[in-house]
Structure 1
Amino acid sequence: MTFSIVTVVGARPQFIKAAALSAAFTKSDRSTERLLHTGQHFDDKMSSIFFDQLGIEPPRWNLAMGGGNHGAMTGRMLEGIEKILLENTPDMVLVFGDTNSTLAGALAAAKLRIPVAHIEAGLRSFNFYQPEEINRVLTDRVSELLFCPTQLSADYLQRENIRGKVEVVGDIMHDSVLLARKINAKLSTPLDDLELQSKGYALMTLHRAENVDEPVRLAAMIDYIRSQAAGQPVIFPVHPRTRQRLAEFKISLDGFRCIEPVGYLDMIALLEHASELYTDSGGLQKEALFCETRCVTLRDETEWPETIETGWNRLWTATHHEPLSREPVFGDGTTAHKIVASVETYLDTRSGLL
């Protein structure tokens, strides 16, 4: 028996994770996986080259449903995903992380009694003012398989009496970073174009609304990074929203080297060779750890406390990093294969084959 899997994605970071998972599915003759793109985030860097470099097929379906408020966006996605699931009747739906696409995919499948597998389950910031926290919690509630990146995330689910099967499989982003570094070894990197020396510059990203829409907070962060960099060049791929706010608030970027946003492979190359990272991105905190680059998170909390406990990360409000540890708290880079094996075992059992 061959199982049909639909993986729902909505933004470029989820495609990065899907690349590692799809590569594992292609090595199995038990399952056929297809990607459904909700179109939550439009990204003009997702050209055919993007898919070719990562070695994945473009999405089978693209709903192009980005834009609008959270409720309207999620509602449109729910309707569109449900239609595709009714027409194709997959054996399982996979979702990643905490976006509106994640929640819409999980709800659509659960209401049709199609089992849901949530990759990156159990993450908690305990800040319900974050839309992502709501998406995480609700998705976990309706999932049959919950794939946790760490034991801590599994412990959170146990405390919440989650009914689905919880497994600690490691972090799929580790698989993705290993894949990116392998690809980058065969390609030219932005260090040559920017005339940078390895470990001779800092890297920063800043894009969250709670940071860039508040002029006092944004100015304080820029001043903080400038002082922390201590004369090093600071490479700053500037998000369009951030660029607009910096100009609107008349905040100086003296000492920063501003460049256009870069693709995933170039970002991993820049991150691997940076002396330090300053970011408000959730994903980059872990990617910095995987690249063994210390990080300062420009937020007041993090959903990745393990990065702080191991000394690779600290909040910008802290004065120092904890002592470094290389304990593999996020797994060994074989998460995708563990997920595929678990999905197929679950579906075998559900089909009465075990």
Structure 2
Amino acid sequence: MYDPVPQSGRPHLLCVVAARPNLMKMAPILAAFAQVAPQVRVTLLHTGQHYDAAMNDQLFADLGLRAPDINLEVGSGSHAWQTAEIMRRYEPVHIELAPDAVLVVGDVNSTLACALVAAKLGTAVIHVEAGLRSGERSMPEEINRVLTDQLSSLLFTSETGARANLLREGIVDERIHFAGNVMIDSLLRQLPDAVPPRVALQAHGHDCPPAYGLLTLHRPSNVDDGARLAALMAAMADLSRQLPLLFPIHPRTRAMLDQAGLGEVLRHRAILALPPLGYLEMLGLMQGARLVLTDSGGIQEETTALGIPCLTLRDNTERPVTVSEGTNTVAGTQPAMILAQAREVLRTGGKRGRIPQYWDGHAAERIAATTAQWLARRMTLP
């Protein structure tokens, strides 16, 4: 049971996680606070936005992330329902804990919901991975990013272009700090323990092809429209004749495939349908892939760090540094274009890219040190 009694003289930071990418960002942050800023008392709150055991409990174990002090157990629902329910459940917890600041990561509904509650209660908000923009306001994540940044007092960016986005939106420069990418902190820390592809596939009843591509799909814009999903899967079946595809299927995507009657595609012998995988399994599969096809922002970053060619199955990306400096190409959603670019990667080996600045495994340490100094200054103000 968590004891909410404040410890005199120690700043109290409440850290919020909710979904798979949040955990990969938060694990190095908590480790860094323990190492470089032990004077900060850290509470970990999980909203329960993701509750699938394979996407939650296994990740905590893989990342060495301690169990949350509090779990709101919100579960899934529409964007409006989920955001409102998180706020409803989070507010009394926040009032009871009375933290000095709330740290949120990424761009999920929990990020915005908890930031909004904290800001309205007069508590400072810290946003890690601030300033990323796709320019596509129809994406719920884009709304969450923009609004969370407007509510935040301290904003940590993961790539150099994010500062310009924030300044253009009226964020004061002194609130912005370029720290680097905490996702890459987790990747570099866990890479030695990545599960070899052969071992991961054998655990799920498959032999590992000598060469393969890795596919992930979960964005509503791709999977909620049955016609678009069918077209994408037809293109993947076509590509798999040239390169077998491993397809760990997100629960949302599985449901939409079933609803759209696309089960036959999953029985295609060159598309290996897999359940949601742990972080170390996914890391091993990415590292061994000839090509990754995805609509995930985090995977765009991870493939750049690993030097693996990536095709993003979207019309834009909020992580442009993975295109300008890394191994990522925005392939769009038209099957013919995706297939043409995939075959070009197989012919040429794809983009080589380079590692962006501060994707060095020490972003979390910079965040912890800057936050601790910032909190100390705030606590000494009259």
Same fold, TM exceeding 0.5? yes
Pick the aligned partner of 1:246 from 257, 267, 274. 257
1:304 aligns to what SS in structure 2? coil
2:360 aligns to what SS in structure 1? coil
- CA distance, structure 1, for counterparts of residue 317 and residue 234 of structure 2: 21
**Residue 179 of structure 1 corresponds to which residue in structure 2?**
189
CA contact (8 A) 2:292 2:309 kept: yes
Describe how 1:67-78 pairs up with structure 2 within 5 A.
67-78=76-87
> What letter corresponds to residue 335 of structure 1 in structure 2?
A
**Residue 349 of structure 1 corresponds to which residue in structure 2?**
377
Structure 1, unpaired ranges of 5+ = none
CA contact (8 A) 1:115 1:144 kept: yes
> What letter corresponds to residue 297 of structure 1 in structure 2?
T
CA contact (8 A) 2:18 2:50 kept: yes
Q: Is 1:165–2:175 an aligned residue pair?
A: yes
- CA distance, structure 1, for counterparts of residue 316 and residue 197 of structure 2: 36
- CA distance, structure 1, for counterparts of residue 17 and residue 111 of structure 2: 7
**What's the offset of the Cα at 1:56?**
2.2
Q: Is 1:237–2:265 an aligned residue pair?
A: no
**What's the offset of the Cα at 1:192?**
5.5
- CA distance, structure 2, for counterparts of residue 25 and residue 121 of structure 1: 19
Change (3 A) 1:300 1:17: same
Q: Is 1:151–2:160 an aligned residue pair?
A: yes
> What letter corresponds to residue 172 of structure 1 in structure 2?
V
CA contact (8 A) 1:121 1:153 kept: yes
Identity, % of aligned pairs? 39
**What's the offset of the Cα at 1:89?**
1.4
- CA distance, structure 2, for counterparts of residue 203 and residue 160 of structure 1: 36
CA contact (8 A) 2:49 2:74 kept: yes
> What letter corresponds to residue 213 of structure 1 in structure 2?
D
> What letter corresponds to residue 327 of structure 2 in structure 1?
W
Pick the aligned partner of 1:45 from 29, 54, 64. 54
> What letter corresponds to residue 208 of structure 2 in structure 1?
L
CA contact (8 A) 2:79 2:109 kept: yes
Pick the aligned partner of 1:196 from 203, 208, 211. 208
How big is the alpha-carbon RMSD for the aligned residues of Structure 1 and Structure 2? 2.5
> What letter corresponds to residue 256 of structure 1 in structure 2?
I
Describe how 1:1-354 pairs up with structure 2 within 5 A.
1-27=9-35, 28-45=37-54, 50-163=59-172, 165-184=175-194, 189-190=199-200, 193=203, 194-196=206-208, 200-229=211-240, 231-247=242-258, 248-250=260-262, 252-253=265-266, 254=268, 255-317=270-332, 319=341, 323-329=351-357, 331-352=359-380
Moved more, 182-191 or 259-268: 182-191
**What's the offset of the Cα at 1:232?**
2.1
- CA distance, structure 1, for counterparts of residue 165 and residue 317 of structure 2: 15
Structure 2, unpaired ranges of 5+ = 1-8
**What's the offset of the Cα at 1:152?**
0.4
Change (3 A) 1:53 1:315: closer
CA contact (8 A) 1:310 1:323 kept: no
**What's the offset of the Cα at 1:336?**
0.4
The normalised TM-score by structure 1 is 0.91
> What letter corresponds to residue 208 of structure 1 in structure 2?
R
- CA distance, structure 1, for counterparts of residue 10 and residue 104 of structure 2: 20
- CA distance, structure 1, for counterparts of residue 134 and residue 322 of structure 2: 14
Moved more, 87-96 or 37-46: 37-46
The normalised TM-score by structure 2 is 0.85
CA contact (8 A) 1:225 1:278 kept: no
Change (3 A) 1:78 1:23: same
Change (3 A) 1:148 1:80: same
Q: Per chain length, whose mean CA-contact separation is higher, i.e. which structure has more relative contact order (CA < 8 Å, sep 6+)?
A: 2
- CA distance, structure 2, for counterparts of residue 301 and residue 47 of structure 1: 28
- CA distance, structure 2, for counterparts of residue 42 and residue 48 of structure 1: 9
2:54 aligns to what SS in structure 1? coil
Moved more, 131-140 or 70-79: 70-79
> What letter corresponds to residue 259 of structure 1 in structure 2?
L
CA contact (8 A) 1:172 1:335 kept: yes
- CA distance, structure 1, for counterparts of residue 184 and residue 74 of structure 2: 29
**What's the offset of the Cα at 1:183?**
3.2
